[in-house]
Amino acid sequence: MPHAQTQLQISTHGQGLYEFTRDAVAFCEGAGIGAGLLTVYCRHTSASLTIQENADPDVIVDLNDFFKRLVSEDPAHYRHTAEGPDDMPAHIRSALTDVSLSIPVADGRPLLGTWQGIYLFEHRIRPHRRTVALHLSGD
């Protein structure tokens, strides 16, 4: 069974969702694998992955606002505060979402829905350089 693997570097400028669908599609198209499974893996504990609507930017704003309300950034709520007041909340947000995704591939392209995009979900306030691993296996 053929395999292809790469890593993407995604620069963030703080909390938010960063779409990298085009990079994932380009990787699949260039891998020479027609049908298979794409695994997307975030190599961090304070960022995560999600598949979300990429047509209406309000979806992204609402998701960010929801997670800010859901997980407080008040350091009085946490023991782990050595890396700043946003670090433990970032770990919690990451635990509530996904650090890996599995996406079927057909005809050399991820089988995403019409309005679906693949996003890195940055949970820290400061900018970071995140690494996302892509692994495609199939025929």
- Residue 1's pLDDT is 85
C-alpha separations of 32 from 7, 39, 60, 137 in Å:
17, 16, 33, 10
CATH code of residue 55: 2.60.120.460
β-strand partners of 139: none
DSSP state of 98: B
Q: Say how far residue 121 (Cα) sits from the centre of its chain.
A: 5
106-136: pLDDT as tens digits: 999 999 999 999 999 999 999 999 999 999 9
DSSP 70-120: HS---GGG-S--TT-TTHHHHHHHHHHSBSEEEEEEETTEE---TTEEEEE
Q: What is the enclosing helix (H) or strand (E) of 19?
A: strand 16-19
- Residue 79's pLDDT is 96
Q: Which domain holds residue 20?
A: 3-138
What is the distance between the alpha carbons of residues 126 and 75, in angstroms, rounded to a whole number? 16
78-100: pLDDT as tens digits: 999 889 999 999 999 999 999 99
Helix, strand, or coil here: 45? coil
For strand 116-122 and strand 3-11, is the pairing parallel, antiparallel, or unpaired?
Answer: unpaired
Residue with tokens 């960022």: 47
What is the distance between the alpha carbons of residues 20 and 99, in angstroms, rounded to a whole number? 15
What's the structural domain count of the chain?
1
